[in-house]
Amino acid sequence: AQTTRIAVTPGDGIGPEVVGEAIRCLETLRTKHNLNLEWDQFPWPSHAWHQEHGESMPEDALAQLKAYDAILLGALGDPGPLNDPDRYLLTDSVSLAPLLEMRKGFDQWVCERPARLLPGARQYLADERAKDIDMLVIRENSEGEYVSQGGRLRKGTEDEIATQMEVFTRKATNRIIRYGFEQARARAADRSTEGRIREFRTLNGNTCESQVCLITKRNALRYWGDMYTEAFEEISKEYPDVATHHELVDAACMKFVQVPWAFDVVVASNLQGDILTDLAAVLSGGMGVAPSCNLNPTDPDMPSMFEPTHGSAPDIAGQGLADPTAMLFTAARMLEWFGRKDPVMATAGKELFGAVAADLAENAGARRGTQEIGEAICQRLSA
């Protein structure tokens, strides 16, 4: 098989530390399975690079990264002490901009964020059924509220007007909805293999093993809300085996807290997906365990990007205290992504997921250092 190449971009704060453990695990798996896997590290994007060069990445950054099959990103941002407005006002957006540049530059039109409350992860909800939380939020990652069109008229005056345009295309809408249905089917097939069948009800009362819930705010944001709804209704006809469901984004937030275990696949717009994935992440244990995958499933020449959703945590950086769990779940997802073309990669990905999950379950609440966790997981992998 051809070599699969990863661009590793550790980034800021705890990024390098957690990325170090991801590499340790990848190394272990490479040896074990004889994976045809290589990686290079980059000092950018990062706050340090920005300090020195006045920009978070070199001008040809995307061109350099394009040679790889995936980007594994540690963490970005050096927002300084929370709530320091000077730094807040100046730096946060700059330091995180590369995330958006990569998504856009490589047309990573899917953002996949699984949220499963695994044993050992922190449970914020009182209801015991929270243990059954197992959803996949699929966020449209290429347009919508994030097109950055708009401006400020009469800036700084009493008469100022700020506008921000949301732009949604039918093409991007169709592809993300179809992707959602495909994932619902794939998840049902996986569960079936594992003997974990879930049941959802279709509109005409039939039982299905998977479900897609479409999120909009169509009672207020009518135009794209209607387009999304119509596209969803149309495409759902091709998937009679998948139950469908609609929620308004505000009600969805409420139901994520009340009955999160009732969701399977959730499809949402860029901004609404951003909001719902943070909520889903905390309900399934918090940022310390949450992976995020920015995927381009259509163009094999474009690298996909994998990042934990946690921040760079500058307050604990460099002390070996950061928990690499989210990073390792992210690396597992990346291997599974490679697994679409190479079954050994898929196996390695599942093994890594299993080892991280087992480590989490056994060490709930234990105080361990970054390396200690990484080493324990590698031992599991080699055992």
Ligand X SMILES: CC(C)[C@H](C(=O)O)[C@@H](O)C(=O)O
Residues 6+ apart with CB under 8 A from 343: none
- For ligand X, the closer of residues 164 and 382 by Cβ is 164
Assess 254 for contact with ligand X (CB under 6 A): no
Q: How far is the CB of 43 from a second copy (least distance, A)?
A: 23
Residue 328, amino acid: L
**Size of interface with a second copy, in residues (CB under 8 A):** 74
Long-range contacts of 250-257 (CB under 8 A, 24+ apart): 250/217, 252/213, 252/215, 252/276, 253/279, 256/280, 256/283, 257/125, 257/283
Q: Using CB distances below 5 to 8 A depending on partner kind, what does residue 229 bind out of ligand X, a second copy, none?
A: a second copy
Closest residue to ligand X: CB criterion: 96
Q: Interface with a second copy by CB under 8 A: which range of 111-119, 141-149, 182-190, 347-355? A: 141-149
Interior CA angle at 99 toward 97 and 105, to 5°?
100
Interior CA angle at 293 toward 264 and 222, to 5°?
60
Q: How far is the CB of 321 from a second copy (least distance, A)?
A: 19
Assess 145 for contact with ligand X (CB under 6 A): no
Q: State how far the Cα of 63 lies from the Cα of 115, in Å rounded to an integer.
A: 32
Among 67, 100, 197, 364, binds a second copy (CB under 8 A): 100
Assess 206 for contact with a second copy (CB under 8 A): no
Cα 371 to Cα 19, 83, 287, 368: the distances in Å are 11, 30, 19, 8
Contact between 212 and 181 under an 8 Å Cβ cutoff? The reply is yes
Q: How far is the CB of 39 from a second copy (least distance, A)?
A: 28
Assess 234 for contact with ligand X (CB under 6 A): no
Q: How far is the CB of 254 from ligand X (least distance, A)?
A: 10
Q: How far is the CB of 338 from a second copy (least distance, A)?
A: 29
Q: Which of residues 211-230 bind ligand X (CB under 6 A)?
A: 219-220
